[in-house]
Amino acid sequence: MPAQLPHGSTWEDREHAVHRQAWQYHSNDMALADDLLSHLMHGFRELEVVKSPDDAQELTLLLVGGAANFLRSAHNLALDGYYVQALSLARNAYEYWLAGAWLNASPQDAAKLRQGSADWPTPSRMREALAAALAHDASEHERPEPALGRIYHDLSRFTYPSFASVSGALDSKGTLRSGPFYQSRRLLAFFDLAYETATLLHRLLEQSFPSLQESEWSRRSDELATKVAAWAARHAAEGEERGGHNR
C-alpha cells in the first residue's frame, strides 16, 4: 500500500507523488496510452495531403482533433490522480467521436452540426443507430465489437454528481481526503475507457478518409486494436481472479 502523503503537502507535491506512483505501477499501461494517442497524431499528418475535403470530412477532422485533445488532457489528469475529472473529459472525447461517426454514416447532416440545428440527433439516438453498423464492420474485419453502451454508461457514471463520482474522496477508514491521490483501480478504469475511445477514433479516421485504408497507418491501427483487446482480456481475467480469492 503506498504511503500516505504528508498532511502539509502542496497540490504540486501531491500531484508529483501520485505521478511517480503511476509510473512505478503502470508504466506499460501508460506506454500503450501514449502509443494510441501518438498514432492519432500520425494519422493527422498522413491527412495533410488531402485536397479539398468535403464538408463532412472537414467537420470529422475537427471532431477527431478535439477528441484527441480531450483524451490527452484526460490522460495527464489521470496520471496526477484526478480520476473523475479525467473520465469526464474522456466522455467529451467519446461524444466527439460519436458525432464524427454519425457524419461518416450521414454526411448530409453536416449542415445541421455546422449551424447548430435543433434537428441534430441526441447522443443516445446516434449510439443506437450506429451500434448495428459498427457490429457489422467488426464482424467483416474480424475485429472486437465496440461495446458502445458499456463505454457510455461507465463514462456517464462519473460525469454528473453521484456517489460513484465522489466516493473516491473517502479513504479506507471513511476519512475525507482532499486533493489528488493514487488508486490503481480507478487509474485502470480510466485506461480501459480511454483505450476504447482512442481505438474508435482510429477507425473513424480510416472510414472517413479512403486514402488511409490499406496503408501502413491502417496496419498499425490493427496492431494497436489487438493490443487493446489483449489488455482488456488480461485485466478482466485478473479481476475475476481477485474476485474469486475474495469469495
Give dist(CA 205, CA 42) in Å, integer: 11
For residue 82, what pLDDT is reported?
Answer: 93
Is the separation of the CB atoms in 225 and 143 below 8 Å? yes
Q: Which one-letter DSSP state was computed for residue 210?
A: G
Structure confidence at residue 50 (pLDDT): 65
What predicted TM-score, i.e. pTM, was given to this entire model? 0.85
Q: pLDDT under 70 in the chain at which residues? A: 1-8, 49-53, 136-147, 164-165, 168-169, 171, 176-177, 239-247
Rg (CA), the chain: 19
3-state secondary structure of 73: helix
Neighbouring-strand partners of residue 176: 170
Distance CA 222, CA 228 (A): 10
Q: Which amino acid is at 57?
A: Q
Look up residue 19 and give its three cell numbers: 505521478
Which three cell numbers, joined as nine digits, stand for 108? 448530409
Secondary structure of residue 3 in the 3-state scheme:
coil
User: Rounded distance, CA 142 to CA 134, Å?
Assistant: 12
What are 204-232's pLDDT values in tens digits? 999 999 889 888 999 999 999 999 999 99
Alpha-carbon distance of 5 to 27, in angstroms, equals: 21
Contact 159, 91 (CB under 8 A): yes
Are 208 and 45 in contact, with CB atoms under 8 Å apart? no
Residues written for the chain: 247
Cα–Cα nearest to 95, from 127, 136, 132:
127
- Cβ-based neighbours of 3, under 8 Å, separated by 6 or more: none
In the chain, where the domains are located? 17-241
- pLDDT, position 177: 67
Predicted pLDDT at 202: 95
